[in-house]
Amino acid sequence: MIQTKSLKGLHDVFTIIPMSIAATDMKTNYNTLSRRVTKGGTLTLDNILQLAQLIEVDPDDIFKLAMADMTVNKKRASPKS
């Protein structure tokens, strides 16, 4: 699904793979992973690499999805003129 561009952001990955399972497999705390996914800028390179390995995709794809989420979040947060 990632290669076909049917996912719009990193959040969409967790509609397919529950975050609790990803957190367990990545050996990280659920709340920490949830917070880092919500605030894409706090994802570490290690998080991106682990998630890519977990779902068997290129880390670049995970990075691009995280960047897409950050772009959407910035648009929502910016004040309207």
pLDDT truncated to tens, each residue of the chain (81 aa)?
Answer: 555 567 888 989 999 899 999 999 999 999 999 999 988 788 999 999 999 999 999 999 999 999 988 876 666 665 655
Give the count of domains, the chain: 1
Asked whether the beta carbons of 39 and 12 are under 8 A apart, the reply is no
Question: Quick one: how many helices (H) and strands (E) in the chain?
Answer: 5, 0
> Is 2 part of a structural domain of the chain?
no
C-beta contacts of 4-8 below 8 A and 24+ residues apart: 7/65, 8/68
- The answer to whether residue 71 is domain-embedded is yes
Residue pair 30/56 in contact by the 8 Å Cβ criterion:
no
Full residue range of the structural domain in which residue 69 is found: 10-77
